[in-house]
Amino acid sequence: MKTLGYYNGDTAEICDMRVPMNDRACWFGDGVYEAALAANGVIFALEDHINRLFRSASMLEIDVPLGKAELKELLVSLLKKVESSVNFVYWQLTRGTADRSHAFPENPKTNLWVTIKPFTMPDLRQKIKLITVEDTRFLHCNIKTLNLLPNVMASEKAKKAGAKEAVFHRAERVTECSHSNIHILKNSVLRTAPADNFILAGITRAHILQCCPVLGIKAEEKAFTITDMMTADEVFISGTTSFCTAADHINGIPVGGRDPGLLKKIQDFLLDKFNKETI
């Protein structure tokens, strides 16, 4: 198989899959998801992704129909069905299938969706352009839900502006990006927004925070402002697919580029971790 679609036990190429219209993902985006990378049959940071999925599901009272070990086994077995050695692995749980009615259905039976598709590793030497967008999202950004419309709108705005990502801000405070977290380096200190309800606690963000003591970098989980970002030594985003990618322009204004050595140490740490753990 080139790509894989899985729905409650059925598998096929994703374009050949059919799912029930009454799946609550279709009516309400009523579900939670995870996205991970895999190489050589190993799903990177799978434990972290599974734990976050269980946390998200529990916050929305979505029942997880299988145990953590069972889910891991299933994902790894599905990975064996695709040809490519480097893949994007996505899975979501939705609150069952029922006629459209807002409140939870009686005894909902959770649906499990999985898709796996080939992935090309990013070139981390390539810098990206960002734009800023007002963060109009709800107050549950810590839950990895399927409700991503403001993220979709912001991402499209970035694309139209020739940028790679949109940076959300609430007034002066920078929160995160449409599908990644954002961090700055200033005077050799790493600053990242606290893991509160305004951001998704990214797994790549957690890995960056873990690498700081190892690399002798002081890290602060403290909100920063647009001005802090525009005047930082380096500005970079992080996420499962972007790893740790630096920006060179925000809203067309040059930013960062003043601490390339420290930035590269963090990038190398993340890539090494990925390569070592997916052999």
Beginning with the edge strand found earlier in the chain, give each strand of the sheet holding 111-118 in spatial order.
10-12, 4-7, 111-118, 86-94, 31-39, 42-43
Q: Closest separation between CB of residue 105 and ligand PDD, Å?
A: 26
CA 159 to chain centre: 18
Quick one: which segment of 12-20, 195-203, 213-221, 263-271 binds ligand PDD (CB under 6 A)? Answer: 195-203
**Encoding tokens for residue 49?**
């992704």
Is 241 a residue that touches ligand PDD (CB under 6 A)? Answer: yes
**How big is the chain by its Cα radius of gyration, in Å?**
19
Candidates 129, 144, 218, 264; catalytic one: 144
Task: Report the distance separating Cα 174 and Cα 182, nearest Å.
Answer: 8
Q: Which is nearer to ligand PDD, 23 or 176 (CB)?
A: 176
Q: Closest separation between CB of residue 218 and ligand PDD, Å?
A: 21
Q: Which is nearer to ligand PDD, 58 or 188 (CB)?
A: 58
Q: Which is nearer to ligand PDD, 202 or 256 (CB)?
A: 202
Q: Which is nearer to ligand PDD, 191 or 205 (CB)?
A: 205
Is 202 a residue that touches ligand PDD (CB under 6 A)? Answer: yes
Is 176 a residue that touches ligand PDD (CB under 6 A)? Answer: yes
Angle of helix 46-59 relative to helix 203-215, nearest 10 degrees, comes to 130
Task: Report the distance separating Cα 38 and Cα 49, nearest Å.
Answer: 12
223: CB partners within 8 A, 6+ apart: 173, 174, 193, 194
Q: With 0-12 CB in 10 A as exposed, 13-18 as middle and 19+ as buried, what is 91?
A: buried
Quick one: which segment of 4-12, 104-112, 237-245, 255-263 binds ligand PDD (CB under 6 A)? Answer: 237-245
Q: Any catalytic annotation for residue 186?
A: no
Is 142 a residue that touches ligand PDD (CB under 6 A)? Answer: no
Binding to ligand PDD, residues 17-36 (CB under 6 A): 35
Q: Which is nearer to ligand PDD, 239 or 256 (CB)?
A: 239
For 186, half-sphere exposure in the C-beta direction (CA atoms, 13 angstrom radius) is 15
Locus of tokens 């609430």: 170
Indicate which residues carry an active-site annotation: 144
Where does this chain bind ligand PDD (CB under 6 A)? Answer: 35, 151, 176, 179-181, 200, 202-205, 238-241
